[in-house]
Amino acid sequence: MNATTGHDADACATTAYAPGRVNLIGEHTDYNLGYALPIALDLGTTVSFRPADDAGDGSVIIASSDAESDTVSIDLGTRPGEISGWGAYIAGCVWALRNAGHEVAAGRMTITSTVPVGSGLSSSAALECAVLLALTAHSELSGHELARIAQRAENDYVGAPTGLLDQLASLFGRADTAMLIDFRSLEVTGVPVDESATILVIDSNSPHRHAAGEYAARRASCEAAAASLGVASLRDADEDAWRRLPEGTERRRARHILTENARVLAASAALRERDETALGALMNASHESMRDDFEITTPTIDLIAETAQLRGAYGARMTGGGFGGSVIALCTADSAERLIAELPDIVSAAGHPTPTIRVVRPGPGAHLL
């Protein structure tokens, strides 16, 4: 195996890894061209691709150890609407790559993953980014180009209208580093994360419900609010611009986005200064804003975040698109230990699914193995 190219001379297979992500702060800001502060997880998806010896029948055959169905066959000429379910993420990558003028070889692909699926930790972007890297190992595509192609696969083939946060985090992640992302310039700035605080990801184990429709509705509200304010996107409005909107849903949606952007910048400064108390307070304020103004949390998620906040975390907030998924909590080592021991029982005693808690660190971004 050649470690720098990921190309195995004997088996002619290319293996790529891409991580999931957890967002420290900055939710639904990406498609509003604002800011977010994610880390790449030390959990990821590994894709191995072996091109066919001959042109074969012009398809990519995929198998995933994390999917219910055995294998899916994707015609290289696939178009949106032809494949649904988990195969759509890979078919979308094939379609978006060819659409952007890049060749894709026929062959066989196998997928394994340590990212929990549907937990708000972006198993979808981990899958897309690993697939794209494995399919384009010998091309010169930049991280930004790969992120855009992955987003097109998810938006236009899978049909999920997500922003660029997940893909940029997976592709640009670095160990011990958070990424301040500016979604207008797509600039990614590393912010060191030392080990003085423990990061817990608390998976609610409650499925997203109607998330795609609700997500699209939030997007539409933000676009309507920007139009009412006479700006192209909410990024172009000042922090207090929501005050100029009439009382109602649009005003609250805009207030979340505009105050969240300010919180991300303040959080990035707090992280640099190793001020966990300030960072935690911003995380708590972000949760409140997602709960009351953007209305994307659930009773289970609220209980988990509030329990973590009350029982010693510096701060805790829902992370990811919402309507289920996970909570991120920033803690001292001692309070992390206490939460791991006590929080699952408290949440299940209140009639919710028992959460799963993981200690995570910022891990490396997507790369060839």
d(CA 302, CA 282): 16
Catalytic site positions = 166
Least distance to ligand ADP, CB of residue 341, Å = 27
Contacts of 349 (CB under 8 A, 6+ apart): none
67 interface partner picked from ligand ADP, Mg ion, none, CB below 5 to 8 A per type: ligand ADP
Beta bridge partners of 22: 39
Contact predicate 176/192, CB 8 Å: yes
The footprint of Mg ion (CB under 5 A) covers 122, 124
Least distance to Mg ion, CB of residue 138, Å = 28
d(CA 295, CA 293): 6
If one asks whether residue 67 binds ligand ADP (CB under 6 A), the answer comes out as yes
285-324 in b/e burial notation, b at 16+ Cβ within 10 A?
bbbbbbbebbbbbbebbbbbbebbbebbbbbbbbbbbbbb
From candidates 17, 31, 49, 89, binder to ligand ADP by CB under 6 A? 89
d(CA 353, CA 32): 33
If one asks whether residue 266 binds ligand ADP (CB under 6 A), the answer comes out as no
Judged by beta carbon, residue 104 or residue 169, the one nearer ligand ADP is 169
111 interface partner picked from Mg ion, ligand ADP, none, CB below 5 to 8 A per type: ligand ADP
Assign residue 131 a region (left: φ > 0; alpha: ψ between -120 and 50; beta: otherwise): alpha
If one asks whether residue 202 binds ligand ADP (CB under 6 A), the answer comes out as no
d(CA 193, CA 187): 19
284 interface partner picked from Mg ion, ligand ADP, none, CB below 5 to 8 A per type: none
* Number of residue whose CB is nearest Mg ion: 124
Judged by CB under 6 A, the stretch of 62-70, 195-203, 215-223, 347-355 that binds ligand ADP is 62-70
d(CA 308, CA 338): 10
If one asks whether residue 217 binds ligand ADP (CB under 6 A), the answer comes out as no
Which residues from 328-367 bind ligand ADP, rule CB under 6 A?
Answer: none
Least distance to ligand ADP, CB of residue 23, Å = 11
If one asks whether residue 118 binds ligand ADP (CB under 6 A), the answer comes out as yes
Instruction: List contacts with ligand ADP (CB under 6 A).
Output: 45, 64, 66-67, 86, 89, 111, 113, 117-124, 127, 320
